[in-house]
Structure 1
Amino acid sequence: MTLRILVVEDEMTISLLVEDMLTELGHEVVDLAMRLKQAEEMAATFDIDLAILDVNLDGHKSFPVADILAARGIPFVFATGYGAAGIDPGYQQWPVITKPFLIDDLRRAVELLAPPPAAA
């Protein structure tokens, strides 16, 4: 199943690497957001199946983006160099992949969050 995914990451090199990994896994990256305001707008309006959220966006936490996605019922995974310790307590139910991560780590996180296939 091809998923439409939003990548929120402030480091261009990392965002392009994540985009390449997701494409290799057969998914479509809808867009890349590098700043909090841009990410909030995309999270509120884009037609996506899930999102990958860097926790720290140029010194700002991405938790407001997580709130928007959660309110819309869109799952997400946090990506951070701090691991689960970098996640505020109110968000610890969401999966975390620790940077640097491998494509297998990303695949497992996406599979965990992927919506179930529609019944035929």
Structure 2
Amino acid sequence: MTFATSPARRSILIVEDEAMIAMMLEEFLETLGHQVRGVAATLTEARDRVRDGGFDLAILDCHLDGEEVWPIAEMLDRADIPFILSSGGAMDEVPAPFAGRPMLAKPYTIGTISDILAASGEK
């Protein structure tokens, strides 16, 4: 099966605490023609990456090693950087300001990633 690469290449920050999932997501994104600008596995790493910038979209795992990712979502929102939420569990506890954000359910497939990137609009 082949997937069309996006006409606009995006630079993407991955915030994911499970190394194998982060590596798979990075491979899918690169296959789709995007560039991964960094991977953060903790809230501290994610804060540093967001402060450093250099990306135009983030994919955020909602739960990082027992901590919720909402402070990072707030930073991205203030910086006007779009983001996609990700979770392997139920997401009925998304804070109201982020409830309308695109949601990527685990386990990922390259097709679902392609679709959510297309639906989130080209920037």
Please give the TM-score of this superposition, normalised by the length of structure 1: 0.89
Is 2:112 aligned against 1:105? yes
Partner-residue secondary structure (3-state), 1:105: helix
Answering whether residue 57 of structure 2 is matched by residue 50 of structure 1, we say: yes
Aligned-residue RMSD, C-alpha: 1.3
* C-alpha separation in 1, matches of 2:106 and 2:95: 17
Residue equivalent to 2:79: 72
**Which amino acid letter does the alignment assign opposite residue 94 of structure 1?**
R
SS at match of 2:58: strand
| Alignment partners' CA distance in 1, 2:94 and 2:26 | 23
Instruction: Give the Cα–Cα distance (whole angstroms) in 2 for the partners of residues 92 and 62 of structure 1.
Output: 13
Q: Are 2:41 and 1:3 aligned? A: no
CA shift at 1:112, angstroms?
Answer: 2.4
Identity level (%): 31
1:90 deviates by 2.7
Aligned AA for 1:61? Answer: E
The Cα shift of 1:83 comes to 4.5
The answer to whether the Cα contact below 8 Å between 1:4 and 1:27 also exists between their aligned partners in 2 is: yes
The structure carrying a bigger helix percent of its residues is 1
The alpha-carbon distance between structure 1 residues 28 and 83, as it changes in their structure 2 partners (threshold 3 A), is farther
Give the letter for the 1:109 counterpart.
Answer: I
Aligned-partner Cα distance in 2 for 1:49–1:68: 13
TM-score, normalisation: structure 2: 0.87
Matches within 5 A, 1:25-44: 25-44=32-51
The equivalent of 2:5 in structure 1 is: none
Structure 1 gap ranges (5+)? none
**Number of equivalent positions:** 116
SS at structure 1 position matched to 2:92: helix
Unaligned runs of 5+ in 2: 1-7
Displacement of 1:108 in angstroms is 1.6
State the alpha-carbon separation in 1 of the partners of residues 102 and 29 from structure 2. Answer: 17
